[in-house]
Structure 1
Amino acid sequence: MTAAATAPSIALRRLAPRGADRDHLLTFLTSNVFPFHVMSRRTTGEVAASIDEGAFENDETRSFWLDHAELGRIGLVRLEDLEDPTPLLDLRLAEEFRGRGLGAEALRAVTRHVFEHLDEVTRFEGQTREDNLAMRRTFVRCGWVKEAHYRESWPVEGGAPLASVAYAILRRDWESGTTTPVPWEEPGL
């Protein structure tokens, strides 16, 4: 891959949600607020139930800690729909590490992991709310392309739904360091 000129500062470490990492996962998800997720605050009971139901580890889902070489654990990523050639990303940084440019490093590390370890993956996708400008800039900065703007599709606690904005990166673009634009025109329609 041409995008990695220096050694990565963020490594992915497989998470054992029903084992050794259960308490750490509970603490991480209940002690941080994730304002751009459908459920921004979660109780211990809610998180425990989602772990027990397999939300972080099942046939189609794997979760990883994001370990920074100097800062330690900065967040987690959940990869979903892994039996599909287009898996989805759920990236969460701890509050103390947001706004420091680590989102781009984390997204690059996760993208590299997916394309280096999952041979059948041809496209990697993530979605965020329309008002999460930091994540939207991160997607673009990392070579991901906006592919959809789903109007009023993201539920908001206590408010009207917002748009969900979908970004993706193709394996061939990641390998070549290029970006394939989306053909928005609809000729003949």
Structure 2
Amino acid sequence: MADDSTRGFQAGQTALVVRIPEAEASVGAWRERFDPAARAGVPAHVTVLFPFLDGSRTDAGVHSALADLLGGHPAFDLRFERCGRLPGVLYLAPEPDEPLRRLTETIAGRWPEAPPYGGRHAEIIPHLTIAQGQDDAVLEEIEADLRPGLPLTARVSSVALLVHDGTTWRERASFALGR
């Protein structure tokens, strides 16, 4: 039976993410408490595409296509200067977010059967989730704690393919961006 950290995730689900290790020291403890993805093994990240293809479909051909697509996008730098909100969600807002949007659009264009957010949301909003499912008072407390540590900067040079094994998320592959 799934506990709170894995509820909603299914074995075989995949995600394409940009890891942001530079944010772990600031957001790691909050994410462990308030982000189910963190409790399921997902590091601090900005999602490029979730859900992606079922893990059984991510064969050598898909890996090769991802390597080609992502290798055509240059590496880039991000700054996280502020928090943002979606209903019940607190996140760090990456700036600029356009390179992340382009990555999402490129991959979703190649695999239209894997639309961003499963097609639930029309707009792509790149973000690094810190907390979800909490009331405004908790989100305000977290944001107040994080604000003095901002801005954070990160270099994005690859996209990781994560796969859920039924218990935790694991990296299956990493694809370098162009230089």
TM-score, with length taken from structure 2 = 0.27
Larger helix percent: 2
TM-score of the aligned structures, taking structure 1 as reference length: 0.26
RCO higher in 1 or 2 (8 Å CA, sep ≥ 6)?
Answer: 2
Structure with the greater alpha carbon radius of gyration = 1
